[in-house]
Structure 1
Amino acid sequence: MSTKKLLTSALAATILMGPAFATAQMRIGITQNNVGVDSYQTTYERAFIAAADANPDVRAVVLDAGGDVARQIAQVDDLIQQNVDAIIIWPTNGEAVIPAVRRAHRAGIPVVVTNSNIAENGFDFIRSFSGPDNVTQGRRSAEIMCDKFKDMGIENEAKVVHITGQPGYTTAIERAGGFEERLPEVCPNVEIVETQPGDWNREKSQQVMEAFLVKYDDIDGVYAGDDNMGVGALNAARAAGREGIIFVGATNFAVGYDAMAAGEYWGSIYQSPVDDAQAALQTAVDILNGEDVPFLNYFDTPKITQDNMSEFTKPVF
């Protein structure tokens, strides 16, 4: 074959292979917690896919564990076998996923944890956490509740029930810890009479609240680990005709925002799943580009109450 033909063939191969190489320049896999469980996670997935599609240097492999720890571990192992350039994990369980994360680390694949961190003994195996500071969120929710009790003049006698997220899930642990640490600091005489999990599920949280209402004649406040659960608790109180209860949540869902506008739900923490998804993808891209990324890459999540909600747009989820 002539030199000219060899050059022509090489050029043709480059043209044909070029777009494939560009598309695969950064193969980023994500395994999510449970997309179908609530509108936050559904919106997060849509936003992640949109952000990946908008970046010509990224090819995303998008997986969902469906809340199943074993399935998520298998998904991480599959991504390792695919030799992706980076793995993003939204952990189903902050402790149980650590062995899989360790395997990714040993394979030389950087791991970004999104939204809910893994347990601290797995920190050596991840490059960055991208998401909200959930301890701070819990602390801010306690401040919202305490301030309202003080306005009502019941800060020395109020009784609170607490509905947490999924057991073993780092976000649930951190928000609960932040709330239960901060509340006695700002309102030392407020009593948390009982804590039960709502598993991030509105219907289960309604059932938990129904049991609380039967058990306790005096409930002044409800703290729920997110607004989805908080509105479930509100629905139970409505059905039982129990008025005057102060509801405070976190992750302000549209249903929480609407309940605040109706004067039935007092406050929450404003958090965007779109920001969450975009930040996770950008963190992985920045790592692969060799940029310095904070180990704890938090985005801000401010307080929102009936008093200042006009400053915030209604959540899209």
Structure 2
Amino acid sequence: MKFQTILAAAAASTAVVGVAQAETYKIGITQNNVGVDSYQTTYEQAFVDAANANDRVEAVVLDAGGDVARQIAQMENLIQQGVDAIIIWPTNGEAVIPAVRKAKQADIPVVVTNSNIDEKGFDFISSFSGPDNIAQGATAAEVMCDRFKALGIADEAQIVEITGQPGYTTAIERSDGFTERLPEICPNVELVDSQPGDWNREKAQTVMEAFLTKYDDIDGVYAGDDNMGVGGLNAAMAAGREGITFVGATNFAVGYEAMANGDYWGSIYQSPVDDARAALETAVDILDGVDVPFLNYFETPAITQDNMGEFTKPVF
């Protein structure tokens, strides 16, 4: 593990819903890969800040560094510590299921954050806290289609897709939401190719360079997040390929800036601060005996060049 942060907590004395007196909880979190992008870095800091501000919480904060085996070991370590609840941001939505099952068998509630596990593991978790990634993909398709209609090319446009990390639930769901919704609203738009960018701007730029070499006609690019979307945009600008509509998700600062410059059309606005706070609040509510939705989504609206003035520039 890269590091472990322990936040000391003192027992509170006021009564709360479901218990006679406020309890102090030890809550562990194992994250996907803090260093991979600014969203995850901001999420971690927001989680630490939220836990530090809550005198009922002692937090054990771990990072799997994108390594499934390391995350499984971290899950087992948290179980051995006897934490009251575990929050997991899965490195792989299927591979972590056995570790999540072990937590369930140890009577430790598990909250999945940001990117859900495979449905085969749903019986072993208490709640998912995060964005509705399928809905995000569908919304991105609507943003793309509306743009093509405004440009008068909805009957002939060709697009390519840059997805996230293979096997990663968020990547799968955003792609599924987009590719299922687009034919319903723009049936003549053709998705000619899809390749993973692994949430990495440089890799996405390389993927886009290959697309530009392979296809003479590209009207749009859908990227699983703005980090990859801007990588694709950089490749297009370097190649002198203008007039391509870029739509992403998780509106990063670089995506917001590219929209302000008129180079990037739209995205889905998502806050890592809200994401982190929601995960911690969900875990505390479960421990307090409060009923929470099994799929505990927070709002992620569409943002385009037309309405971006309604949103503040992301800090990540």
TM bucket, shorter chain? over 0.9
**Partner-residue secondary structure (3-state), 2:208:** helix
Deviation of the 1:25 alpha carbon: 1.9
The whole-number CA distance in structure 2 between the counterparts of 1:213 and 1:33 is: 31
Q: Which amino acid aligns with 2:300?
A: T
Partner of 2:19: none
Partner of 1:298: 297
Q: Which amino acid aligns with 2:277?
A: Q
Deviation of the 1:215 alpha carbon: 0.4
Deviation of the 1:222 alpha carbon: 0.2
Mapping 1:45-194, distance limit 5 Å: 45-194=44-193
Q: Which amino acid aligns with 1:172?
A: A
Partner of 1:10: none
The whole-number CA distance in structure 2 between the counterparts of 1:307 and 1:81 is: 52
Q: Which amino acid aligns with 2:68?
A: V
Q: Which digits, 9 at most, give the CA deviation of each residue in 1:173-227, with x for residues without a partner?
A: 0000000000000000000000000000000000000000000000000000000
Deviation of the 1:20 alpha carbon: 6.8
The whole-number CA distance in structure 1 between the counterparts of 2:305 and 2:90 is: 32
Partner of 1:232: 231
**RMSD (Å), alpha carbons:** 1.1
Deviation of the 1:160 alpha carbon: 0.3
Mapping 1:166-315, distance limit 5 Å: 166-315=165-314
For structure 2, the 5+ residue unaligned runs are 1-7, 13-22
Share of identical aligned residues, percent? 79
Segments of 4+ in structure 1 off by > 4 A?
none
Partner of 1:22: 11
Q: Which amino acid aligns with 1:146?
A: C
Q: Which amino acid aligns with 1:126?
A: I
Larger radius of gyration: 1
For structure 1, the 5+ residue unaligned runs are 1-18
Deviation of the 1:22 alpha carbon: 2.4
Q: Which amino acid aligns with 1:130?
A: S
Q: Which amino acid aligns with 1:197?
A: P
**Partner-residue secondary structure (3-state), 1:22:** coil
Change (3 A) 1:291 1:148: same
Deviation of the 1:291 alpha carbon: 0.5
The whole-number CA distance in structure 2 between the counterparts of 1:253 and 1:244 is: 22
Q: Which digits, 9 at most, give the CA deviation of each residue in 1:50-69, with x for residues without a partner?
A: 00000000000000000000
Q: Which digits, 9 at most, give the CA deviation of each residue in 1:109-161, with x for residues without a partner?
A: 00000000000010000000000000000000000000000000000100000
Partner of 1:13: none
Q: Which amino acid aligns with 2:247?
A: V
The whole-number CA distance in structure 1 between the counterparts of 2:208 and 2:69 is: 31
The whole-number CA distance in structure 2 between the counterparts of 1:113 and 1:26 is: 17
The whole-number CA distance in structure 2 between the counterparts of 1:62 and 1:289 is: 21
The whole-number CA distance in structure 2 between the counterparts of 1:275 and 1:308 is: 21
8 Å CA contact 2:9, 2:57 repeated in 1: no
The whole-number CA distance in structure 2 between the counterparts of 1:171 and 1:22 is: 36
Q: Which amino acid aligns with 1:250?
A: A
- The structure whose residues are more often helix, as a share, is 1
Deviation of the 1:21 alpha carbon: 6.1
Q: Which amino acid aligns with 1:22?
A: A
8 Å CA contact 2:227, 2:254 repeated in 1: yes
Q: Which digits, 9 at most, give the CA deviation of each residue in 1:33-77, with x for residues without a partner?
A: 000000000000000000000000000000000000000000000
The whole-number CA distance in structure 2 between the counterparts of 1:49 and 1:170 is: 24
The whole-number CA distance in structure 1 between the counterparts of 2:206 and 2:103 is: 40
The whole-number CA distance in structure 2 between the counterparts of 1:302 and 1:199 is: 24
**Partner-residue secondary structure (3-state), 1:129:** strand
